[in-house]
Structures are given as structure tokens and as C-alpha cells.
């Protein structure tokens, strides 16, 4: 169980930082979800290295690209539908439940933080969510089951029932601007925290790389937990190269 003899110095150090902090923020990337079987699309061998992503401007410009986009969405659906939160997600959820972590900023679109019990209002999704679709014009939410029926059954592209606008999966595509609200929320949480914990992000995609720098500049402690080294390892107060789930479970005392 929770045997202190087994704790590595890094585990003890992060526990200590979590106990002493006033307000912590967790920032997650693909690395936390690969342990749930979700592929890291950008990694070597990932989907984007085998199949070119559809750029946002092409999606807007061409009905054929919109069809291709929906075909891919429903083709990939199963990998996401079967994914469940892993022990890394549960460790983060436990820190939120204890009140130590105030917000979870994520680059992931899989909704696994919410599934693991983090209240939706505490999850800031920088790249959107692939569990539903939205109108690009008015923002109205559209359910995927309805779109799937019309698209696969009658070959119909979804159109907004309110304004007739183009409906797209509620994720941020390559070439599409980041959503303003979540970006502002993420920056505010980053400025207000005194401990910023990166989990499973390689910190090469902006604004991923910008937020930990902002936190550090504001005097927050910076922790990075990732399987590989990141460009910000030298800036971190604690950098851990390890499997995410097992390490975080030890920190939180879940195993």
C-alpha cells in the first residue's frame, strides 16, 4: 500500500510541493491519454504522419473535404469510444477533489478528465472536444449520433438547424484559431497559481510551451512529468521522466 520506503525522491518532492502550494494547476497533453490506448496523433507513426490532416481552410472551402472529414471522424470513433480514464487521470481527479488543483488545462480532445470525475467547469479544453459537434457560425451544439445517422444513412452533410451554418466536430483543426474563451481562462488560471504541473506534454506545440513559461515568470513552481525530456526541463523546479500513471498514482497514494 502506501509504503513510504518505496517512494522515490521525485515522488516525495512532488508530494511536498503539493502540500505546501496554495493553488495548483495541472496541464495535460497526449502522454496522459496514450496509457488509455488513445494514439498520439502527432508522434512518429501517429495518424498525422500517415494521413495528412485536413486544414481548416480546406474544410471551409470544399464540401468534398467536409465529407472526408466526417468519414474520418466516424472511422476513428471506436478507438475513442472505448477509451477509459487510466490511473493518471484518476490521480489528477483526486487532486481536484482534495481542492489542491483548481483547474485542469488540457490539449486533449478525448474528454477523459471529465470521465474520471473532474467537474466540467474545471477542465479547460484548448483543442476542443471530439464528443460532439458545433456550428462554426453560431456555436450551437450538435450531437454526433444525429450527424452519423444523416451522414452514413442518407449521405447528408450536417447543417446548423438554427442558422444554416457549417457544422464541424468541436475540435480545433490545423489552421483553425484557438478558442478565445478557453485560452483566456487558461492564462488566468496560470497567472493565479503558485504551482504549475505539466503532465504528458512534450511542450513543443504553442500555446503549450507558453503557459509553463508564463507560470514560471509569475513565480510559480514548475513541475514536468513526461516520458521524454522536454525543451523546458532545465527551467523546471522538478522534471520527471517516467510513466505517468504509475508515478502520479504514487504521488497521490492511489496504488
The region of 10-18, 137-145, 171-179, 233-241 touching Zn ion under the rule CB under 5 A is 137-145
Closest CA to 101 of 83, 117, 85: 117
- Contact call for residue 133 and Zn ion (CB under 5 A): no
The strand pairing partners of 225, in sequence order, are 199, 240
Q: Which three cell numbers stand for residue 201?
A: 506534454
Residue with Cβ nearer Zn ion (87 or 135): 135
Query: Quick one: CA dihedral 154, 158, 160, 164, positive or negative?
Result: negative
Select from 8, 62, 137, 218 the one that contacts Zn ion (CB under 5 A): 137
Residue with Cβ nearer Zn ion (150 or 209): 150
Mind telling me the catalytic residues? 127
Number of residues that bind Zn ion (CB under 5 A): 8
Ranges within 56-75 binding Zn ion (CB under 5 A): none
- Contact call for residue 51 and Zn ion (CB under 5 A): no
* DSSP conformational letter for 149: I
Residue with Cβ nearer Zn ion (113 or 168): 168
Could you tell me if 96 and 253 are in contact, meaning their C-beta atoms sit under 8 angstroms apart? no
Residue with Cβ nearer Zn ion (32 or 160): 160
Residue indicated by cell numbers 483526486: 94
Ranges within 149-178 binding Zn ion (CB under 5 A): 160, 162-163, 165
Q: What angle do CA 88, 91, 95 make, to 5 degrees?
A: 140
Select from 135, 144, 193, 236 the one that contacts Zn ion (CB under 5 A): 135
- Contact call for residue 140 and Zn ion (CB under 5 A): yes
User: What does 91-122 look like in DSSP terms, one character per residue?
Assistant: HHHHHHHTTSEEEEEES--S-HHHHTT--GGG
The residues binding Zn ion (CB under 5 A) are 135, 137-138, 140, 160, 162-163, 165
Amino acid at each position: 500500500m502506501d509504503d513510504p520506503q518505496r517512494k522515490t525522491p521525485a515522488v516525495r518532492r512532488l508530494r511536498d510541493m503539493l502540500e505546501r502550494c496554495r493553488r495548483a494547476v495541472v496541464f495535460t497533453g497526449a502522454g496522459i491519454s496514450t496509457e488509455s490506448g488513445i494514439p498520439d496523433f502527432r508522434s512518429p507513426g501517429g495518424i498525422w504522419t500517415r494521413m495528412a490532416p485536413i486544414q481548416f481552410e480546406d474544410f471551409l472551402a470544399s464540401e468534398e473535404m467536409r465529407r472526408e472529414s466526417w468519414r474520418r471522424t466516424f472511422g476513428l470513433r471506436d478507438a475513442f469510444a472505448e477509451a477509459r480514464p487510466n490511473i493518471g487521470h484518476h490521480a489528477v481527479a483526486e487532486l481536484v477533489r482534495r481542492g489542491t488543483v483548481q483547474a485542469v488545462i488540457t490539449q486533449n480532445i478525448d474528454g477523459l478528465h471529465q470521465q474520471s470525475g473532474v467537474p466540467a467547469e474545471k477542465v479547460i479544453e484548448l483543442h476542443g472536444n471530439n464528443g460532439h459537434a458545433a456550428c462554426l457560425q453560431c456555436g450551437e451544439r450538435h450531437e454526433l449520433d444525429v450527424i452519423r445517422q444523416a451522414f452514413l444513412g442518407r449521405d447528408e452533410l450536417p447543417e446548423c438547424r438554427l442558422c444554416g451554418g457549417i457544422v464541424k466536430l468541436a475540435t480545433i483543426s490545423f489552421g483553425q484559431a484557438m478558442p478565445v474563451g478557453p485560452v483566456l481562462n487558461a492564462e488566468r488560471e496560470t497567472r493565479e497559481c503558485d504551482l504549475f504541473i505539466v503532465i504528458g506534454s512534450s511542450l513543443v506545440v504553442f500555446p503549450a510551451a507558453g503557459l509553463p513559461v508564463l507560470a514560471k515568470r509569475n513565480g510559480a513552481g514548475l513541475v514536468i512529468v513526461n516520458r521524454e525530456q522536454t525543451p523546458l526541463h532545465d527551467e523546471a523546479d522538478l522534471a520527471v521522466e517516467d510513466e505517468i500513471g504509475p508515478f502520479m498514482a504514487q504521488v497521490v497514494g492511489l496504488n
